[in-house]
A and B are shown apart, each in its own frame.
Chain A
Amino acid sequence: MNIKIQDSTHSTRYIDIYITQRTFDASQLFIMLIFSFFKTLTDQVITVELKNDLSITGTLKSVDQFLNIRLDGISVEDPERHPHMLAVKNCFIRGSVVRYVRMAARSVDTTLLEDATRREAKEAKK
């Protein structure tokens, strides 16, 4: 599962990923949408809020199909509540413990994302 992101504008990135995905079957396609979305956020600063209320901000280094996340240069929102996290500089977060991921609005092309979602929904139905 090797998805190439070309050094193009934001808009063609979703499309490139979408075309690569077409070789997979429809049920997998739907799973790939959010995964592709996170791939486009690589190297952006995001905040991951876990189900235990711990919020970690860092640079997204990689993501996989389970939405496991690897963050670099991390900081914790409330260090007094979580002092054991102070020494941690990078981490791997299991996808299933994530509640939210917050990101800057400018890092997301919403029109393209909606179009990709509609296409994926159509494909999944077939």
Chain B
Amino acid sequence: MDDAANSGISEPLDLVKLSLGERVFIKLRGDRTVTGVLHAYDAHMNVVLSQVEETIHIVDVTEDGNPLPPRIEKRNLEMLFVRGDGVILISPTQQ
């Protein structure tokens, strides 16, 4: 835990604070993930990101109820606000 002590992490949101200006990976409710450069966050985990890539994982079901192989949909957005109530996790990405 030396790394954490040296970088001044004392509470969970400090990890997010250290990611300001860096690319982060965010997992959201509804089988969505986004990556983007973090510019703002608050205690609700509302975030503002730029250069965003959103990925939606879709599992279609056939008429008799059998799932088809998962399908992935991607979208790019230049600037995005994400409401905090949909956030599951925020993680720094290593470039």
- Chain A complexes with chain B: yes
Residue A124 CB within 8 A of the other chain: yes
Which 3 pairs across A and B sit closest by C-beta, in order of nearness? A101-B81, A105-B78, A105-B79
Residues of A in contact with B, size category: 20 to 34
Q: Given A108-B50, A118-B17, is A102 in contact with B77 using a C-beta cutoff of 8 Å?
A: yes
A-chain residues with CB within 8 Å of residue B42 when the two chains form the complex: 30-31, 33-34, 117, 120
Interface centre among A95, A107, A114 (most CB of B within 10 A): A114
Chain A interface residues (CB < 8 Å from chain B): 30-31, 33-34, 37-38, 51, 67, 95-96, 98-105, 107-108, 110, 113-114, 116-118, 120-121, 124-125
By the criterion CB–CB under 8 Å, are A114 and B83 in contact? no
Q: Given A34-B46, A113-B39, is A108 in contact with B20 using a C-beta cutoff of 8 Å?
A: no
Residues of B in contact with A, size category: 20 to 34
How many angstroms from the CA of A124 to the CA of B17 in the assembled complex? 12
Interface centre among B30, B40, B46, B50 (most CB of A within 10 A): B40
Which listed residue, B43, B80, B85, touches A102 by the CB 8 Å rule? B80
